[in-house]
Structure 1
Amino acid sequence: MEETVTSPQNGDVIDVLVADHRDVTALIANIRSVTDPMIRRDLTDTAISELVRHAVAEEMYVYPVMKKYLPEGEKAVEHDIEEHKELEETMKRLEGLDVETSEFVQALNRLEDLLADHVQDEESEQFPELRRRVPAEELTELAGKVESAKKLAPTRPHPGAPNSELFHKLVGPGVGLVDRLRDKLTGRATK
């Protein structure tokens, strides 16, 4: 089954993923600076949604490329999937917490720490290796696939779900549809 791919606005998959990292990091900073509980909840839900979409797209398209091209690709992917699981568990916890509690701040701190570690690994080690080893046209094509995947991906964390390319491609769009319907019905912010 050939997938429909939209072209990225500009750049390659690394540019897309780095931009995602910057956006979510900025959202977390905004969450910290806002005192209004409704705005804080909306920003938190948006950050969670963006992180989930990012992770799903990586697992669908970037991780198979890492396994293929990087000498330690299998090991790097295993490590990244473990980090994704930790991030998902923390996001799931954040979803259920009152934004005005110390537990929320602790969970937000945990999310920020996990994300910083994950971003550091990817941007300082994995992304430069991908740029060195993967043909530029493939990285550009991957950007379109990642952007398309993010549009269909779930918007809520599902820590019990498999973190695999096959699961995301077969079941993910249905889960994403249900998540977006729940978001709409509950008024949950996702962008």
Structure 2
Amino acid sequence: MGHGGNVIAELTTDHREVDELFAKIEAQPVGDTQRRKLVDELTIELVRHSVAEEMHLYPAVRDHVEGGDGLADKELSEHAEVERHLKDLERLSADDPEFDHLVAKLKLEVSAHVRDEEGRLFPLLAAACTPQALDELGDKIRSAKKTASTRPHPSAPDTPPGNKLLGPGAGLVDRARDMLTGRGRS
């Protein structure tokens, strides 16, 4: 959940963990219940990551990167699409015919999003911010992931101040539900 380092190192490590989860899902036989458990784990990681980016990364992009409003809006739009897919996946069992189709679609969208962030957004942010600012942003991202939601909430606000006010409450409820159901425990 928290890896240390500046914001770029933190989020890049998250990206690699998501890649590994997709690989684990694909390694399981079609219809296997382990696929459902791994998708739940993937959902938790993607939602935490997205919430943290929406709370801290994209506002920093808006503030520091030339053309940052357009970049942040594009990223938020991609997050919304991923969150809708995660919400759709949440209701499906691993043996549902739509399950594998949605996982494949999700992987394509997440992979494209990651390539864009790592290839374009992160270098622009690194050029626009001091190392100290990037480190502070990494700390904020790690802190946000600790209280973030673990389930998709497509209709929740994804920009400040709404996401900063409502997000921790949704996160608390999600983590309580996860504890009661055992969701996210391998």
Same fold (TM over 0.5): yes
Count of matched residue positions in the alignment of Structure 1 and Structure 2: 184
- State how far apart, in whole Å, the 1-side matches of 2:65 and 2:149 are: 28
**Does the CA contact (< 8 Å) of 1:49 and 1:190 recur in 2?**
no
CA contact (8 A) 1:57 1:153 kept: yes
Offset from partner CA, 1:46-101 (integer Å, 9 cap, x none): 10010000000001111111001111100001100100000000001111111123
User: Are residues 1:11 and 2:5 paired?
Assistant: yes
Counterpart in 2 of 1:45?
40
| Counterparts in 2 of 1:116 and 1:9: CA distance versus 1, 3 Å | closer
Residue equivalent to 1:32? 26
- Taking the aligned partners of 1:170 and 1:9, their CA distance within structure 2 comes to 25
Which residue is 1:132 aligned to?
127
Select which of 40, 53, 77 maps to 1:82.
Answer: 77
TM-score (norm 1): 0.92
In structure 1, the gaps of 5 or more residues are 1-7
For 1:1-191, what aligned pairs fall within 5 Å after superposition?
A: 10-35=4-29, 37-189=32-184
Q: Structure 2: which amino acid aligns with 1:138?
A: A
CA contact (8 A) 2:3 2:10 kept: no
Structure 2 vs 1, CA of residues 160 and 9 (structure 1 numbering), >3 Å: closer, same or farther? closer
Amino acid at match of 1:119: V
Give the Å deviation of 1:9: 5.2
- Give the fraction of aligned pairs with identical amino acids, expressed as a percent: 43
Distance, in Å, in 2 between the alignment partners of 1:28 and 1:70 is 31
- After superposition, the CA RMSD in angstroms is 1.4
Secondary structure at the aligned position of 1:29 is classed as helix
